[in-house]
A and B are shown apart, each in its own frame.
Chain A
Amino acid sequence: MPEIRVTPLGAGQDVGRSCILVSIGGKNVMLDCGMHMGFNDDRRFPDFSYITRNGRLTDFLDCVIISHFHLDHCGALPYFSEMVGYDGPIYMTHPTQAICPILLEDYRKIAVDKKGEANFFTSQMIKDCMKKVVAVHLHQTVQVDDELEIKAYYAGHVLGAAMFQIKVGSESVVYTGDYNMTPDRHLGAAWIDKCRPNLLITESTYATTIRDSKRCRERDFLKKVHEAVERGGKVLIPVFALGRAQELCILLETFWERMNLKAPIYFSTGLTEKANHYYKLFITWTNQKIRKTFVQRNMFEFKHIKAFDRAFADNPGPMVVFATPGMLHAGQSLQIFRKWAGNEKNMVIMPGYCVQGTVGHKILSGQRKLEMEGRQVLEVKMQVEYMSFRVSCYMPANGETVTLPTSPSIPVGISLGLLKREMAQGLLPDAKKPRLLHGTLIMKDSNFRLVSSEQALKELGLAEHQLRFTCRVHLHDPRKEQETAVRVYSHLKSVLKEHCVQHLPDGSVTVESILIQAAAHSEDPGTKVLLVSWTYQDEELGSHLTSLLKKGLPQAAS
């Protein structure tokens, strides 16, 4: 029985290090290669020893597929390919290929330069790893080898996020990665065609959640910002560099445009500028609105949003500033927060989830006096708001293997000659009724063909063997053999109307190709023995005929 086996390698139920091993039709594919943000030891990477126990990674895996550039989906890639050792192909989409190394490098810097970790992958390793990447387009079918093919579909979520269909023969698996069905300000909704996979592996973080409409949430956010700016206050929005930041930028940009607002919006420098550049490049991956307005103007070439300079924080008048990082635990966002916290006109909006212990978490839980380093006490007079947007996504995984038996359909080629012969015999095919067809199945080089028996014999170079069945039927009939034959003939003639029944001069009777001879019984002259003989092909008619004869001849004839 063919089967599909799925083994998640990432463990832990809280935060991802997405990594799933799929065996399908004898092929092994690794889906995503993520890392865990919460650990600093070996546990931060998936357990590749599960595979390496049995040999090298390259020998075992046919390919690796990365769904999108978030580190919990691609963070372990350099470790996996360079340190554990994998030389096979790695598939990802073009935007992922462009943005992924930036994030990996950033992550490496934090881990090695800031935290001083040893035994971590190097810049060179990231570069080497990216050399193994094969970029794919949406809806492009890539033949990994003769049997394994993969195809990418749009998934929304972040720029370049894709869902993958993995197909071997007629068996297939769809892996969604992270995806979203409701479009946001810069990305569209996920879409896939009716591909009917045997197995669907999907992200299910929000499977049990139904959220407020996007517009409600956006309106709340915009209203808060708008009111604060109208009051003349300054608004601080701490964000992480990618994804969310772009969405909010677009949201504010269009709102400013729509409402004709003049207050400046600043964007703190860093990663995001580079990322914005890629957003501009990969415009086809964004949503309908951005694609449509692209002709007039690239939405990512912001009109109202300018790069932030440290000196701007002290400027008078209202402004909106996006600053990294998102949890107010360090860096620019914290600096600005300290400057602005004292004024009740100002506002800070936390667009995401904050980990316990960070300044962000403290102010969200209502703390108004914060102890900063150096024993300073910072009084927070500014308004603190939060937005109920998404939390980070994770994928539950448990390290166990799931096996899924499949029953793939096997395609069989049929020769045209056979089909036409069959057509000539009977009515047109009816979709609702099965039809019986005689032919020979040839299995050769793992492909199947159905041909007529003559052709099969010819192809295989075999002589045809005749297989005849013979059967004796005892008839109680005192008359002569010839007369018995005549009676049999007339009886069969009357019963089998649609067949050709003949009486041959030598006294035997034929029905189509079935031969019937009558002979006297050697011991009992009152009993006649009918010898019925037919070939294998006429089995149906032959058995019918014998059963007919066994019933005896009608007496009325005498």
Chain B
Amino acid sequence: MAAHLKKRVYEEFTKVVQQEEIATKKLRLTKPSKSAALHIDLCKATSPADALQYLLQFARKPVEAESVEGVVRILLEHYYKENDPSVRLKIASLLGLLSKTAGFSPDCIMDDAINILQNEKSHQVLAQLLDTLLAIGTKLPENQAIQMRLVDVACKHLTDTSHGVRNKCLQLLGNLGSLEKSVTKDGEGLAVRDVQKIIGDYFSDQDPRVRTAAIKAMLQLHERGLKLHQTIYNQACKLLSDDYEQVRSAAVQLIWVVSQLYPESIVPIPSSNEEIRLVDDAFGKICHMVSDGSWVVRVQAAKLLGSMEQVSSHFLEQTLDKKLMSDLRRKRTAHERAKELYSSGEFSSGRKWGDDAPKEEIDTGAVNLIESGACGAFVHGLEDEMYEVRIAAVEALCMLAQSSPSFAEKCLDFLVDMFNDEIEEVRLQSIHTMRKISNNITLREDQLDTVLAVLEDSSRDIREALHELLCCTNVSTKEGIHLALVELLKNLTKYPTDRDSIWKCLKFLGSRHPTLVLPLVPELLSTHPFFDTAEPDMDDPAYIAVLVLIFNAAKTCPTMPALFSDHTFRHYAYLRDSLSHLVPALRLPGRKLVSSAVSANITPHEDPSHQFLQQSLERVYSLQHLDPQGTQELLELTIRDLQRLGELQSELAGVADFSATYLRCQLLLIKALQEKLWNVAAPLYLKQSDLASAAAKQIMEETYKMEFMYSGVENKQVVIIHHMRLQAKALQLIVTARTTRGVDPLFGMCEKFLQEVDFFQRCFIADLPHLQDSFVDKLLDLMPRLMTSKPVEVVKIVQTMLRQSTFLHLPLPEQIHKASATIIEPAGESDNPLRFTSGLVVALDVDATLEHVQDPQSTVKVQVLYPDGQAQMIHPKPADFRNPGPGRHRLITQVYLSHTAWTEPCQVEVRLLLAYNSNSRIPKSPWIEGGEVSSQVETSIEGTIPFSKSVKVYIMPKPARR
């Protein structure tokens, strides 16, 4: 039983590897001629159901570009013969799929397709055929005549009675129609055809699906770069009150598009003679949709509001408008009351019955309810029933507040309110939003109070997001700082695991508000003017927290150290050493300042260290033709320099590391080529070639690291990296050629290498001009010759070229960061082994922070190494990754361990891997995406790079008790 269970566990972990094998096998199976087989199958079919089965089976396998034409002919032939509409439908859909095949030009089947379209009676088949035409049309975007013809066909079928056909026609028009007036070729009368007008006419179609399709087609036109007419705006506005939600949803989008196109044009307000800007009008209309009946539309509207930055502030502020009323008399909102209480300095809320009773008296007849009491869109959106709408509203609020500081100030109350939402996601989102706009705002004390109350939340994500927020918050008073500190300390005692995060938060809080901290220092350090107080415990996390706050404030406040007592100085020295990332260097009386005097506000280009980096790289590139010995030495020197630089200057670490890695690759390559083996007959140097092949292998590894471990790598760097890898592959080829006997294995290798070169050319065709004189440049020149020559000759040519090739200049990227990961948990310190029954599983909590990892959900894996050499790769769930800040991720997951019984506890290693797949650049075949759900749902992994230190976990699987 236990063994069975264990087997099941492993099966799950090894799933991906198995699937990979299946996929490669499959590709090989699809070689034999397709058209012939299909023809035989279809002829065999006696009933339509049979034929349909054959077609379905056929559709599961991919077809190569060369055989598409034949297959298409056979399909068409059967189409003409077929009476059953369902079979014709399938054939039509197959035609569409086939015409998408890469490397096949579908213009030859267009005539046939249009032809059969004219004789078709079944609406469903018609719709499918139009879909096929759409596929053909999108495949040939530059052929104007074909496009025109297809548009004509679409217009002809627009009057069809079936909604499906009309839908497809509109889709076709949206994808292919152009604004230019199409002139019929013969010149017999100008068939002036305005696609927008034609599509616009279908805004009032009787079928809601067709209306939706018409709007979508219009949006498609816009996406293709056609400028929509402004007249569409009025039509679209009418559709906002449509009965069907999908129409309204699409109409909202259309209105948004038009408002972005013509923001400044003037539109009249109906029922009055005033006029306003179009963007304001559209904003108002979309605001109105935030209280739509369907939540899908509400989400849509709320999202779009966020991107309308051109709207005037007057309209923007109305979205937050909310006047409380009681029997038509204005009341003050709680927000206003809080503000007043705060400004008057009074405290304690009204304990009296009716303290929020309306003050002013108003004549009921004179009040216009709509004017005085209409609530803003965001007031509705933030109080919506569905949390999807609330999240969308918070996001929109964030975007608008980022562009308008005055709006940011106004929306603060509402955002703070959202911190108490019932759904955690919404709370988290609003905290993140607040962080993003925190440059524009200063928190009032009562708002801070509400914000800080959330620190007691039991969710770790919420607390950490809040710490992150407090890092960049502006606080207005010293009471505020005190309050924040007290709450943070309370948080620390309640959840001791938050230690690091709280310290970091206090570091920023201190350095941002030195003047506010200053008057608090005596109280915080509990010093007394006359008496010496007891020295606090140095290991108390709360005390350290206070010190972190004070020391960071003292950095820019030179008068503060005067208030310290003796032990504070001692503690400073201790903390400066033990927690150097939290405690800055201080200019203390009687002590020398030990730190580089580089201030942070110098831009990287003026920075001397950056200059140094530039210069040392220049030196390497300019001295290309030095003697081999000298080049090697220079490279070694520069690599050392760069590494040291990276250690010293954290902001340059990414660039320095990146360049150093590249230079190391070059160094390895040079060294390998300098080997004596090249001059001597092959058999003698079997041993030495180990070195060369090891170098090739290492270069490969390094290039993968360069490509996938750094964020911010641009295309021009990727080319260079790939080029380096190609050189490594060439080296490998040469080395194997020299060490292996016989031609047969060589033949396969040569072919593979040439494929690689071809692949390189296809991927980076645009960048080839930059690679003048390089290895690949020369190789491509000789490509025709290489294709025809024998493997031995190929190797010879490659060898000479590799030796002749020059060293390519690696352009430095703007922003580059090396991906890194730290495993926080398990800490690897425990001496108590995790005990569990063998064959069953034990869950191990893994908590790690990832920095500068792109798309961690698909790339980051957890590896577990057992003492017996067994390795297990675990794919964490996408939901296990959180994003607490820009460029940072946090992985909190559980890893299941299992093993057979051991005699004594032993350590397993846990580490994080970065998975990569260099084939992700190849465009996928449409067959795979368009066809049935293929077995390759998960992206395959080509290799992995370990990027964190491994942590040892003590475990002990016990034998099961009987």
Contact = CB atoms under 8 A, between A and B. Distances in A.
Nearest to A218: B420
B382 A364 contact: no
B328 interface: yes
- Interface centre among B353, B369, B386, B422, by most chain A C-beta atoms within 10 angstroms, is B422
A347 to B, nearest CB: 11
Contact of A194 (B243, B349, B414, B457): B243
Given A183-B385, A213-B379, A220-B349, A208 B325 contact: yes
Nearest to B159: A428
A210 B352 contact: no
Contacts of A193: 293
From A219, A220, A365, A428, residue with most partner B Cβ within 10 Å? A219
A392 interface: no
Interface string B484-504: 000000000010000000000
Contacts of A383: 351
Given A386-B353, A431-B204, A213 B325 contact: no
Interface in A341-365: 364-365
B875 interface: no
A61 to B, nearest CB: 32
B418 interface: yes
A366 to B, nearest CB: 7
B494 A216 contact: no
Contacts of A183: 385
A310 interface: no
B322 A210 contact: yes
Size band of the interface chain B makes with A: 35 or more
B458 A216 contact: no
A431 B383 CA distance: 41
Nearest to B204: A431
A211 B324 contact: yes
A220 B334 contact: yes
Contacts of A287: 385
A385 B456 CA distance: 24
B370 to A, nearest CB: 12
Contact of B456 (A182, A260, A384): A260
A259 B457 contact: yes
Interface stretch (A137-145, A184-192, A311-319, A537-545): A184-192
B373 A365 contact: no
Contacts of A386: 353
A551 interface: no
Contacts of B494: 260
B385 A188 contact: yes
A113 interface: no
A223 B385 contact: no
A365 B353 contact: yes
Interface string A191-222: 11110000000000000111111111111101
B449 to A, nearest CB: 9
B663 to A, nearest CB: 54
A192 B373 CA distance: 23
Nearest to A214: B383
B240 to A, nearest CB: 13
B19 interface: no
A365 B387 CA distance: 39
A208 B379 CA distance: 17
Contact of B386 (A185, A214, A288, A385): A288
B458 A209 contact: no
Interface in B394-438: 414, 417-418, 420-423
B326 interface: yes
B363 to A, nearest CB: 13
Interface string A425-448: 000100100000000000000000
Contacts of B323: 210
A289 interface: yes
B324 A216 contact: no
A208 B456 contact: no
A254 interface: yes
Interface string B321-341: 011111110000111000000
A388 interface: yes
Contacts of A220: 334, 349
Nearest to A260: B458
Given A210-B323, A219-B450, A254 B422 contact: yes
Contact of B325 (A185, A189, A191, A209): A209
A215 B417 contact: yes
A216 B335 contact: yes
Nearest to A259: B456
Nearest to B372: A210
Contacts of A209: 324-327
Contact of A288 (B159, B327, B382, B387): B387
Contacts of A258: 457-459
A381 to B, nearest CB: 14
A258 B159 CA distance: 60
B420 A219 contact: yes
Contacts of B386: 288
A106 interface: no
Nearest to A211: B324
Contacts of A222: 420
A182 B382 CA distance: 10
A454 interface: no
A258 B324 CA distance: 30
A512 interface: no
A531 B459 CA distance: 100
B420 A215 contact: yes
A208 B328 contact: yes
B620 interface: no
B356 interface: yes
B153 interface: no
Interface in A438-483: none
A217 B337 CA distance: 13
B453 interface: yes
B383 A182 contact: yes
A257 interface: yes
Interface string B309-323: 000000000000011
B375 interface: yes
A384 B352 CA distance: 9
A431 B210 CA distance: 15
Interface in A157-196: 182-183, 185, 188-189, 191-194
Contacts of B423: 289
Contacts of A223: 453
A153 B327 CA distance: 28
B334 to A, nearest CB: 4
A471 B542 CA distance: 115
Given A208-B328, A288-B385, A385 B243 contact: no
Contacts of B328: 208
Contacts of B453: 223
Contacts of B421: 215
Given A216-B334, A216-B335, A288-B387, A210 B422 contact: no
A326 to B, nearest CB: 15
B353 A213 contact: no
Nearest to A383: B351
Interface string B435-462: 0000000000000001001001111000
A216 B417 contact: yes
Given A210-B373, A213-B417, A216-B335, A289 B422 contact: yes
A433 B456 CA distance: 68
28 contacts: A182-B383, A185-B422, A189-B384, A189-B385, A192-B293, A208-B325, A208-B326, A208-B327, A209-B327, A210-B323, A210-B324, A210-B325, A215-B417, A216-B334, A216-B417, A217-B334, A219-B417, A220-B349, A254-B422, A258-B457, A258-B458, A259-B457, A259-B458, A260-B458, A287-B385, A288-B385, A288-B386, A288-B387
Question: Nearest 7 A-B pairs (CB), nearest first?
Answer: A189-B385, A183-B385, A216-B334, A364-B353, A260-B458, A208-B328, A215-B417
Given A210-B323, A220-B334, 10 more contacts: A208-B326, A209-B326, A212-B334, A213-B322, A216-B333, A216-B417, A219-B450, A288-B385, A289-B423, A366-B352
